[in-house]
Chains A and B, each alone.
Chain A
Amino acid sequence: SQQGEEDPQALSIQEGENATMNCSYKTSINNLQWYRQNSGRGLVHLILIRSNEREKHSGRLRVTLDTSKKSSSLLITASRAADTASYFCATDEGYSTLTFGKGTMLLVSP
C-alpha cells in the first residue's frame, strides 16, 4: 500500500496566499523528503527533514514532522504563480529507496 498519502489531492489558491499540504505515512522512517514536479518533468528535491527533527525552514518553505502521528506538512508562504506544480512527500525507511505519496497538485493563480 502507498506509504505516503498527501492531502489535499489538489489545491487552488491566489498569489500571495499560503499553501499547506499534508502527508501521512505508515511505518517508521529515517527521514521524510518533499519534492516538486512540474508537469512532464522530473522531480526536484525541496527539503529533507530527519526523524529526530520537528521543523525545518528553507526560504518560503516550512516543513514540520510529527513522528507520533506519522505526519508531515509542507507550507509554502506568499505563493507565486511559479509555485504551480505537483508536490510529493517521500519517506526513507532505511532501505536506500524512497516511497512516494500520490502528490498534491497546487495551482497558484495570478
Chain B
Amino acid sequence: GAVVSQHPSRVICKSGTSVKIECRSLDFQATTMFWYRQFPKQSLMLMATSNEGSKATYEQGVEKDKFLINHASLTLSTLTVTSAHPEDSSFYICSARGGGQGGNSPLHFGNGTRLTVT
C-alpha cells in the first residue's frame, strides 16, 4: 500500500532556531500533501495544503512566513518551523493523496513529528 515516511519522529530545539520536517511518499507520487498540527488529546488541525510545483495554500490563522512549506518534487514536501518558540511545540503530521486520486480516496499519513521547543 501507499507509504508516507516522515522524519524526524522527534526533535528538540532551542527557541529561535529553525526546524525542518520532511514528508516523503515512498511508493507513489503525491501531487498534493497536507500538513496538520495536533495538540495533546485534540483533533488534527489542517495547517496548509502543499501542491507540487506551486505555492502552498495556508489555512486561516497559520503564518506562512513562520511555517515554510516546500513541495519541490512529487515525492517530497518539507515543513520548516522558523524561529521556533515554545508555543510551537506540538505534534506535526503530514499526509498525502496520490496522483490521480481525487475524491473518495483516503489520505496516507506519516507517523508524525513531535516538536519540543525549549
Bound Cα distance from A21 to B51, whole angstroms: 34
The answer, yes or no, to whether A81 is at the interface (CB within 8 Å) is no
Pick the contact of B106: A33, A96, A99 (CB < 8 A): A33
B46 in contact with A97 (CB, 8 Å): yes
- A contacts with B, residue count (CB < 8 A): 26
The answer, yes or no, to whether B28 is at the interface (CB within 8 Å) is no
Q: Identify which of B61-69, B75-83, B91-99 touches chain A.
A: B91-99
Pick the contact of B112: A40, A90, A96 (CB < 8 A): A40
6 additional A-B pairs beyond A48-B104, A102-B43, A105-B41, beta carbons within 8 Å, are: A42-B93, A44-B109, A45-B108, A96-B49, A97-B34, A102-B42
> Closest 6 A-B residue pairs measured CB to CB?
A42-B109, A45-B106, A42-B111, A43-B109, A100-B44, A102-B43
Residues of A bordering B, CB below 8 Å? 2, 30-31, 33, 35, 40-45, 48, 50, 88, 90, 92, 94, 96-103, 105
